[in-house]
Amino acid sequence: MADTHIPGTIRPGGRTARVRETVLQTAGDVLAELGFEALDLAEVARRAGVGKTTVYRRWGTPGALAADLLDDMAAQSLPRADTGSVEKDLRANAQLVVKTLTDPRQGRLFKALIAASLCNEQAAEALHRFYAKRIAEWTGCITDAIQRGELPDGIDASSVISAVSAPLYYKLLNTGGPLTEADANRAAAAALAAARAGAWSTNR
């Protein structure tokens, strides 16, 4: 899902890794401040204090840079909750989505990356990889719940996790209203109720 550390806060490495870290951090700042249309490689290089040739050689296009940023965010994203209760796990998932999307930097960054995915194939593919990784990380909440008898057998775990965040992204992008903890709790409760009712059963 949409929950991550700020790129470059975890991974150690040599000079090449440090250059990538700096450039990705700077690219994220530009995206959050100005949007994808302002993601200029020369400006990113200037802000990052990195040679322009290095940036062009490694990334080549704004789309490739945005894609690498998304891949980096996916690699550094937080593990799923494991509370022993599917209700609490899904609520934690929804609350983490809201926390990320309402963060002053991360919220704007995700909007910019979503916008990038609508007009750039590399960014779109990276965004798909990002969400596939996040959904896969959280499906354990559902498989564990099935084993505990909290949910019926044959539930498509990925669909349940996707259903938790879907209304939150819809509100963020389509209505423009503020996201709240109450929104998170409602989204989690709705997804859980649908799962218990067999909405995503693979046995039908």
Domain check: are 97 and 166 in the same one? Answer: yes
Domain check: are 101 and 174 in the same one? Answer: yes
Of 74, 103, 124, the last residue of a domain is: 74
Of 55, 74, 93, the last residue of a domain is: 74
Domain check: are 68 and 112 in the same one? Answer: no
pLDDT tens for each residue of 30-79: 999 999 999 999 999 999 999 999 999 999 999 999 999 999 999 999 89
pLDDT tens for each residue of 104-128: 999 999 999 999 999 999 999 999 9
Q: How many domains does the chain have?
A: 2
Q: Any idea which residue has 């499906």 for tokens?
A: 139
Domain check: are 111 and 147 in the same one? Answer: yes
The CATH number of whichever domain residue 192 belongs to comes to 1.10.357.10
8 A C-beta contact, residue 165 and residue 97? yes
Q: Is 136 helix (H, G, I), strand (E, B) or coil?
A: helix
Apex 46 CA angle, 43 and 48, nearest 5: 105
pTM recorded for the entire structure: 0.88
In a domain, 202, yes or no: no
Domain check: are 141 and 92 in the same one? Answer: yes
| Domain assignment of residue 186, given as a range | 82-196
